[in-house]
Amino acid sequence: MRTPRSAPGAARGLVLGALVSASIATALSSAAVADATCTSVSGTGADARCTSAPTSFAVRLDKNSSVSAQGRLNGTAASGNRSNVTAGASPSPGPGNVDTASAIGNPVMVAESMLGTDAFGSYGCEDFVDAAYGRTNATGIDHDAALAFYQSLADRGLDHHEMPVPRGGLVFSAGPDGNHVDISRGDGTYISGGVQGLSPGYGDGHDVQILPTPNLGVWTMYGWVYPPW
């Protein structure tokens, strides 16, 4: 939305750090391991066979395996005789191919993990979407650039207007303060950042909420796109 940036880079880092921490806890819990031989988080604690990049984590569960994680919000765990596991940078799914296999690499679940918070402030809808998809303003939707991003895809015939919007679709609307983007949950509801910029006092008062419609109040949907990443 058209307003001064509400969340500095430090705030983005804190949110992404929290998401990585939650992902690590989930991975370790599901693997039921207390005897990991190496844990590397955001590049720290690494050795030659256990490496990670910023906002990623890697866990090696025995001395015979190797594990590497690269890319935003990626994570891996390896165990077993001489097993080798690598998680690359987040792939660029084709239209409609949003990964729903796990919370890692699942933008909708990442977005839902921020529900009930004020992540990215009242005018940070683009920043919220970028964080959910593991993007930045430079590689995703720039701050205050929802319309320009949508138009760049519409100019190539990649915009849609049919309903319902599939899970993971990016939904764009216009209102008095500019343009807005949120994420379809695939069930007729939408998860949005910057809600208090859309409608002050709406819902529980927080900036990240589930919306029952893309046409909230005086805001009107003008189209949706598959995420192009």
The residues spanned by each domain of the chain are 33-87, 95-225
pLDDT tens for the chain, 229 residues: list them.
655 433 444 444 444 445 444 444 444 344 433 444 555 554 555 555 555 555 455 555 455 544 444 444 444 444 444 444 444 443 333 333 333 334 457 999 999 999 999 999 999 999 999 999 999 999 999 999 999 999 999 999 999 999 999 999 999 999 988 999 999 999 999 999 999 999 999 999 999 999 999 999 899 999 999 999 8
Q: What is the dihedral sign for C-alpha 45, 49, 52, 53?
A: positive
Options 1.10.10, 2.30.30, 3.40.50, 3.90.1720; which CATH number does 95-225 get? 3.90.1720
Q: What is the pTM of this model?
A: 0.60
Could you tell me if 128 and 114 are in contact, meaning their C-beta atoms sit under 8 angstroms apart? yes
- Tell me how crowded residue 25 is: count the other CB atoms within 10 A of its CB: 10
Q: Is 176 helix (H, G, I), strand (E, B) or coil?
A: coil
Give percent helix, percent strand, percent coil of the chain, each to the nearest 5. Answer: 20, 25, 55
